[in-house]
């Protein structure tokens, strides 16, 4: 084994200059935060829409619809997000000319929808049957009772679990780096390639993800307290 020669003053200045380049790249990282958040919000919205529709189908649909929704949810849960992303991107490139951004949003939406389906379904099933009966007694149809009585309460009960899913989707959006989307993680790779300061760069990236996740969870926690159903 060769002993490492002691660092010279020039070496220390060289590494400190490279570390300074990493700190100067923080605004560049923050530009990537915008891409990360846009992917996250779109995926949560689309995934929530699909997941809620699947949950309603599993609870209120006839058996072929219930079976199809259950098959969809279980199949998607069994697939890694990266497999779904590659499938959509390479298939979309051949037939639909999908961009990396759209492919990531769709993949993350589909993957998250299977988990949001379980969250919303549990919330719907937690509402007492008497609520639906009371809605019918007031002259509402079945769909009207679900939309105006059951669903608002179910969504409020599901919010604490949905906030966890939101944080997971935020972190899963980092997988977009494998296809070159210039979100937060990919920009970190660019800075590492330029400065060779991997530890410092990824410490800053990790801190940004930590702060974003904390902001998500605290904000949704405040929303949960405002809309919580009193016992």
Best CA proximity match to 205, nearest among 216, 191, 219, 220: 191
List helix spans (H) across the chain. 9-24, 26-60, 63-77, 81-95, 100-125, 129-137, 142-145, 151-172, 184-195, 198-227
User: Band of the pLDDT at 3, cuts 50, 70, 90?
Assistant: very low
pLDDT tens figures, 63-116:
889 999 999 999 999 999 999 999 888 877 667 777 889 989 999 999 999 999
The model's pLDDT over 12-43, given as tens digits with 9 standing for 90+, comes to: 444 456 777 777 888 888 888 989 999 999 99
Q: Is residue 2 part of a domain?
A: no
Average pLDDT over residues 39-50: 94
DSSP type of residue 150: I
Q: What is the CATH number of the domain that holds 47?
A: 1.10.3720.10
Residue 19 lies in a domain: yes
Two tokens at 131? 């609520």
Q: Which domain holds residue 72?
A: 9-227
What pTM, to 2 d.p., does this model score?
0.81
Q: For residue 1, tell me if it sits in a domain.
A: no
Determine the pLDDT at residue 93.
67
What is the domain count for the chain? 1
DSSP 79: S
The answer to whether 51 and 115 have CB atoms below 8 angstroms apart is yes
d(CA 49, CA 28): 33
Does residue 155 form part of some domain? yes
Report how far residue 110's alpha carbon sits from residue 96's, in angstroms, rounded to the nearest whole number.
Answer: 17
């Amino acid at each position: 084994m060769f002993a490492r020669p002691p660092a010279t003053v020039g070496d220390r200045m060289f590494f400190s200059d490279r570390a300074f380049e990493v700190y100067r790249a923080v605004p560049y990282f923050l530009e990537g935060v915008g891409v990360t958040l846009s992917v996250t919000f779109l995926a949560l919205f689309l995934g929530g829409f699909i997941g809620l529709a699947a949950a309603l189908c599993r609870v209120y649909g006839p058996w072929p619809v219930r079976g199809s929704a259950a098959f969809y949810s279980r199949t998607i849960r069994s697939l890694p997000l990266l497999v779904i992303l590659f499938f959509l991107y390479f298939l979309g490139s051949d037939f639909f000319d999908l961009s990396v951004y759209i492919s990531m949003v769709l993949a993350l939406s589909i993957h998250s929808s299977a988990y949001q389906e379980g969250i919303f379904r549990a919330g719907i099933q937690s509402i007492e049957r008497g609520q639906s009966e009371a809605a019918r007694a007031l002259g509402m149809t079945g769909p009207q009772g679900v939309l105006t009585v059951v669903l608002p309460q179910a969504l409020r009960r599901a919010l604490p679990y949905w906030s966890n899913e939101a944080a997971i989707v935020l972190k899963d959006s980092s997988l977009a780096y494998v296809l070159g989307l210039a979100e937060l993680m990919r920009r970190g790779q660019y800075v590492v390639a330029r400065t060779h300061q991997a530890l410092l760069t990824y410490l800053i990236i990790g801190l940004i993800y930590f702060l974003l996740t904390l902001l998500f969870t605290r904000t949704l926690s405040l929303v949960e307290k405002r809309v919580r159903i009193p016992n």
